[in-house]
Chains A and B, each alone.
Chain A
Amino acid sequence: MPTYTDMTRCDGCGDCVDICPSDIMHIDPVYRRSYNIEPNFCWECYSCVKACQQHAIDVRGYADFAPLGHKVRVLREPEKGSISWKIRYRDGRIKEFTFPIRTTPWGSIKAAQDYEKPDLSALGSPLLAHEPEDLHVGALPTIKKA
């Protein structure tokens, strides 16, 4: 459809509405639960599926080319830094995978303003923030003008 919402699991919280890059997860005014208003603009990106705390959203592959009977389910656990997939084939075979997603605590990135203020005379140089150190080579390469 590609995404669809399970009537009994959705609690209408709107997390999927908030995250959808395509603005196609909306709250139905009668049932007060989310649904995909525009399946033909769904990329099957799973942003809403991963964000749903009720696990109420699933994907049924595009009707144009995906025969029925499959499932690709996901559990994203930010606090553990991992994501797990369970794939069920049309013929019933199962495959499972888990991959890491992040090596540092969420929220730990140091903002640009948390670094020492740069000397503004360097505004005219080609060096970006944290260069040349972050290049891990001595100096920024340059090339003679043609």
Chain B
Amino acid sequence: MARRTRFVDSDILIVGGGFGGCGAAYESRYWGRDLKIVLVEKANVERSGAVAQGLSAINCYMGMQWGENQPEDFVKYARGDLMGLVREDLVYDIARHVDSTVHKFEEWGLPILKNANGRYMREGKWQIMIHGESYKPLAAEAARKSATEVYNRIMVTHLLMDQKRPNRIAGAVGFNVRNGDFYVFRAKAVIVGAGGGSHIYRPRAVGEGMGRTWYAPWSTASAYGLIIPTGATMTQMENKIVLTRFKDGYGPVGAWFLLLKAVATNAAGEFYEKDRYPEIKERVGHYVDIVPMPTCLRNHAMLEEIKAGKGPIYMHTQKVLDTREKEEIGWEDFLDMTIGQAVVWAAQNIDPKEKPSELITSEPYIMGSHATCSGAWASGPEDCAPAEYQWGYNRMTTVEGLFGAGDTIGGSAHKFSAGSFTEGRLAAKAAVRYVMDRKEESPEVDDDHVESLKQAVFKPLETYRVGRNEIVAGTVAPGYINPLQGLQRLEKIMDEYVGGVGMFYVTSENLLNRGLEHLAMLQEDFEKIGAEDLHQLQRAWELQHRILTGESVARHTLYRKETRWPGYYYRGDYPKLDDNEWHCFTGSEYDPRSREWKMSKLPVHRIVPGFELLRT
């Protein structure tokens, strides 16, 4: 079948219209007035990305204007929470700029809750409360007005490299999920602001409720699935995140713990966290004394409690909702960002004023924007990045002209919404400079390569069209599997071999090696994915991004021979934290031709003094 190919040329191409991409669109226009800036999104920027539903808090705000926190304090917090392993230059850079982003959001019309003294109402030390139902439409309005062109409903499947310079980005390809047109985006610089990964691991709810993962089901690990095949260095892909959340609805706990001061206990009403202190200290030494206690260790305490049969674990909401104002805060916390939890309360007759609610730990996710830091290894800010972290342009990956923001950039945790928008701005300013520094340079794409990608992109439709003739009806065919069947195989492999909930997050060298054998066959079977229509074709390419990410996660988990973050995952064969060998970042480079992974240790440099290692 003849398919139209549409060519779109630009100076800066932004892939993904979430908070990172919206920040990039705004800032690249500010500096690059005459540049052509194109934003591509697989859904609709008005409600896309992880913040599509809204948010009830901004989790990264310094409050420098009131002397509340300084960027150095935030570096100490983020590195403590991740047991020492963050790129301090990147974290510092987000922290020092994020206040100006938040002030812009308020100017644009975001309602921020305030105290009587006029300061933003704090949820916790770093968090402020917002009425954030329309947080994403606000960011989208700014981005739409600033970009030259916005393409909605284009699923970007691959990045394109320059045909003469193998390590130089040249654009991206994808398809329109409504009409099936093939798109070739040629660009002088590319900023990837795509999402991290839900549904890499089997979720706890596997029926209809599989959609109620904590992280959006449309966050399909495209940030990594797009970048890994370019050969860019990736880092900390083993640093998966597991969240303590309200059970089943996955409602957030931050406002309850920090603002409303609710407490969690086991079923007998015991404060299990302090009871488990000696055992945790045995594992991770003085790291248990970091204030606040690292998130993974708090997960660990809860997990041990659940394993001992002392659950359900309860959040005692009923003890803190003593005023209408507090009740409204509690409900809005869910209605702004996790409406499904309000549905659970209504369905299960739970009035939080009267009854406690169960807590649970989620399935793992792969992210670079929330409390963990998987992603691409990136160049840092010139004025404060150590030499080994600096190779030209801020937030540029190890591929020339390929930048990232949000979930894309590794080593830099605790960005959340405002930090991801800020990182989009940082990447965009650097990308404008990159393009301006190379006015004469125009990357070239290989037409034959583009044609072969076009064949590959639409192949699942053809596989289905041919294969379905072998069967009467239904979803069982000898010649193909559908995207959901492929996804469920991926989730099962990751759950059982790479430390999912079914294994209480435990894995080992033998499990990982066997899991990699299964993943290799899944990758082979991807060649036989059948897609019934364009919607399934989108699901097929989302699956491809997830499979590549899953393999990367397994490789990095295998490489790091320690248990750095108990509560996120455990190497059963290396149960302790080992600063002598593993106080480092893990790195990988993937060669798509040989399908080989080159693993390495990447250095940790401190720019804020005062971190003590565990000497054993």
- List residues of chain B with CB within 8 A of the CB of A88: 346
How many angstroms between the C-alpha atoms of A67 and B517 in the bound complex?
41
- List residues of chain A with CB within 8 A of the CB of B281: none
Chain B 337-382 residues near chain A, CB threshold 8 A: 339-340, 342-349, 351, 381-382
- List residues of chain B with CB within 8 A of the CB of A80: none
Would B346 and A90 count as touching, CB distance under 8 A?
yes
Q: CB-nearest residue of chain A relative to B111?
A: A100
How many angstroms between the C-alpha atoms of A129 and B608 in the bound complex?
26
Q: Mark B382-412, 1 if CB is under 8 A from A, else 0.
A: 1111110000000000000000000000000
The segment from B4-12, B138-146, B456-464, B547-555 found at the interface with A is B138-146
Contact residue among A47, A68, A109, A120 (Cβ-Cβ distance under 8 Å from B108): A109
- CB of B290 within 8 Å of the partner chain: no
Known A61-B347, A100-B111, A112-B26; judge A40-B211 contact (CB<8 A): yes
Main SS of chain A's interface residues? loop
Contact residue among A37, A70, A130 (Cβ-Cβ distance under 8 Å from B100): A130
Known A43-B212, A102-B111, A136-B65; judge A111-B145 contact (CB<8 A): yes
Would B211 and A128 count as touching, CB distance under 8 A?
no
Would A124 and B138 count as touching, CB distance under 8 A?
no
A114 to chain B, nearest CB (A): 8
Would B436 and A120 count as touching, CB distance under 8 A?
yes
Would A90 and B349 count as touching, CB distance under 8 A?
yes
Main SS of chain B's interface residues? helix
- CB of B492 within 8 Å of the partner chain: no
- CB of A56 within 8 Å of the partner chain: no
Known A65-B344, A113-B33; judge A43-B216 contact (CB<8 A): yes
Q: CB-nearest residue of chain A relative to B108?
A: A109
- CB of B432 within 8 Å of the partner chain: yes
Known A44-B343, A65-B205, A134-B104; judge A126-B131 contact (CB<8 A): no
Known A21-B218, A41-B211, A129-B27; judge A136-B177 contact (CB<8 A): no
Would B344 and A66 count as touching, CB distance under 8 A?
yes
Interface size in chain A (residues, C-beta < 8 A): 83
Would A111 and B348 count as touching, CB distance under 8 A?
no
- CB of B217 within 8 Å of the partner chain: yes
Would A62 and B211 count as touching, CB distance under 8 A?
yes
Q: CB-nearest residue of chain A relative to B609?
A: A146
Number of CB contacts from chain A to chain B under 8 A? 275
How many angstroms between the C-alpha atoms of A72 and B205 in the bound complex?
21
Would B346 and A112 count as touching, CB distance under 8 A?
no
- CB of B538 within 8 Å of the partner chain: yes
Chain B 25-67 residues near chain A, CB threshold 8 A: 26-27, 29-31, 33, 42-44, 46-49, 52-53, 64-65
- CB of A10 within 8 Å of the partner chain: no
A90 to chain B, nearest CB (A): 5
Would B346 and A71 count as touching, CB distance under 8 A?
yes
- CB of B486 within 8 Å of the partner chain: no
Interface size in chain B (residues, C-beta < 8 A): 92
- List residues of chain A with CB within 8 A of the CB of B210: 40-41
Contact residue among B142, B336, B340 (Cβ-Cβ distance under 8 Å from A43): B340
Would A109 and B346 count as touching, CB distance under 8 A?
no
How many angstroms between the C-alpha atoms of A9 and B525 in the bound complex?
43
Would A135 and B344 count as touching, CB distance under 8 A?
no
How many angstroms between the C-alpha atoms of A61 and B485 in the bound complex?
24
- CB of B110 within 8 Å of the partner chain: yes
Would A108 and B109 count as touching, CB distance under 8 A?
yes
Q: CB-nearest residue of chain A relative to B388?
A: A146
Q: Mark A60-87, 1 if CB is under 8 A from B, else 0.
A: 0111111111111000101000010101
Would B347 and A66 count as touching, CB distance under 8 A?
yes
How many angstroms between the C-alpha atoms of A128 and B535 in the bound complex?
39
- List residues of chain A with CB within 8 A of the CB of B141: 106-107, 109
The segment from B91-99, B233-241, B261-269, B442-450 found at the interface with A is B91-99
Would B436 and A123 count as touching, CB distance under 8 A?
yes
Would B111 and A43 count as touching, CB distance under 8 A?
no
Contact residue among B42, B382, B386, B425 (Cβ-Cβ distance under 8 Å from A128): B425
A-B contact pairs, 28 of them (CB 8 A): A1-B208, A21-B218, A22-B218, A38-B535, A40-B209, A40-B484, A44-B211, A45-B339, A61-B343, A64-B209, A65-B347, A67-B348, A70-B347, A76-B133, A78-B134, A83-B133, A95-B331, A97-B328, A99-B328, A99-B332, A100-B131, A109-B142, A112-B30, A113-B30, A120-B31, A120-B436, A130-B104, A136-B100
Please name the 6 residue pairs, one residue from A and one from B, whose CB atoms are nearest each other, closest first. Answer: A104-B109, A64-B209, A62-B209, A134-B100, A111-B145, A136-B65
